[in-house]
Amino acid sequence: MKGLIFDIKRYAIHDGPGIRLTVFFKGCPLSCWWCHNPESRSPRPERLIKTVRIGEKEFQREETVGRQYSVSEVMELVERERIFMEQSGGGVTFSGGEPLMQAPFLLALLQACQEQGIHTAVDTSGIASRAAFRRIIPYTDLFLFDLKHLNDQKHRLYTGASNRLILENFRMIADSGVDIWARVPVIPGYNDEEEQLERLHRFLRENRRDNIRQLNLLPYHPIDAKYGRCGIEWKMGQLEPPSRERMATLQQFFADTGIKALIGG
């Protein structure tokens, strides 16, 4: 079995506990305006122009983004990193794009990791069928689960899809007992208005479970240059990242949900 991967990052420290190998699946059903990986959206390999900087000089070269990997090829790379994973309490994170868009390949990798005693995390937008989530839950140690907007209309506008299935899947995983890190991008003027924050606060309180280990508040930062080379319109303009003070205020706001709120991660 093969799957389309667009990047594999070694020594990742923000994609779950410890030092991790992060495997980026290509293809995503959403099209978030602020997405950091626009090259992940298309479920096909693409020829893109990449700028490489060496000292003061910049060079442009064309490269293919996305290539087919077999399960054993990925597992070979995982094995090479085992020492770092074991010593740091790390593991493998499957990210994207949306890894559940290639659910059979993801399942096979999760099963292979479990057989080898390797900790697994799935970084998901939450948009996939309930059946697909049910199949992977027994082989997943941790979900990094994005909550982008609680207002359905705005979720549709900024991501291209309803949040209904996402919220249902979050509840299902919370009830399953598997660990979750809820991840909320903080985008000034887009999803940090009072009504949205109140709704999110209520949602987290209502779905509070011991297995929801933390809430990561991820400050927005712009990456418009990547969009040009992907031929995708950058809709965020010159939006500035939220200030440290604003992030600290939000951290404080979520403190009484009973879920540990962290900035970044």
| Binding interface with ligand SF4 (CB under 6 A) | 28, 30-32, 35, 37, 40-41, 96-98, 125
CB of 182 to ligand SF4, least distance (A): 14
Token digits of residue 9: 């990052």
Nearest CB to ligand SF4, comparing residues 37 and 207 = 37
Name the minimum Å distance from CB 219 to ligand SF4: 15
CA separation for the pair 100, 107 (Å, rounded)? 9
78 versus 128: smaller Cβ distance to ligand SF4: 128
Identity of the residue, 85 or 128, whose beta carbon is nearer to ligand SF4 in the bound complex: 128
Taking CB atoms within 8 Å and a gap of at least 24, the contacts of 256-260 are: 257/201, 257/204, 257/205, 257/208, 257/215, 258/205, 258/208, 259/182, 259/204, 259/208, 259/212, 259/213, 259/214, 259/215, 260/213, 260/214, 260/215
> Considering beta carbons, is residue 169 or 257 the nearer one to ligand SF4?
169
- Give yes or no for a contact between 30 and 161, defined as CB atoms under 8 angstroms apart: yes
For the bound state, the minimum distance from the C-beta of residue 229 to ligand SF4, rounded and expressed in Å, comes to: 16
Closest to ligand SF4 by CB, 36 or 201:
36
Q: Closest approach of Cβ 236 to ligand SF4, in Å?
A: 12
Alpha helices in 218-261 (DSSP H): 224-230, 244-254
C-beta closer to ligand SF4: residue 161 or 263: 161
Q: Which of 150, 100, 108 is nearest to 129 (CA)?
A: 100
Query: CA-CA distances (angstroms) from residue 193 to 8, 151, 172, 185, 187?
Result: 35, 11, 27, 13, 10
Find the farthest-apart pair of alpha carbons in the chain and give their distance in angstroms, rounded: 53
Q: How far is the CB of 158 from ligand SF4 (least distance, A)?
A: 9
Tell me whether residue 102 or residue 257 sits nearer to ligand SF4 (CB atom). Answer: 102
Q: Check if the beta carbon of residue 263 is closer than 8 Å to that of residue 247.
A: yes
The three-state secondary structure class of 168 is helix
Distance of CA 193 to the CA centre of its chain: 23
Question: Could you tell me the smallest distance in angstroms from the CB atom of residue 94 to ligand SF4?
Answer: 12
Nearest-approach distance from CB 74 to ligand SF4, in angstroms: 19
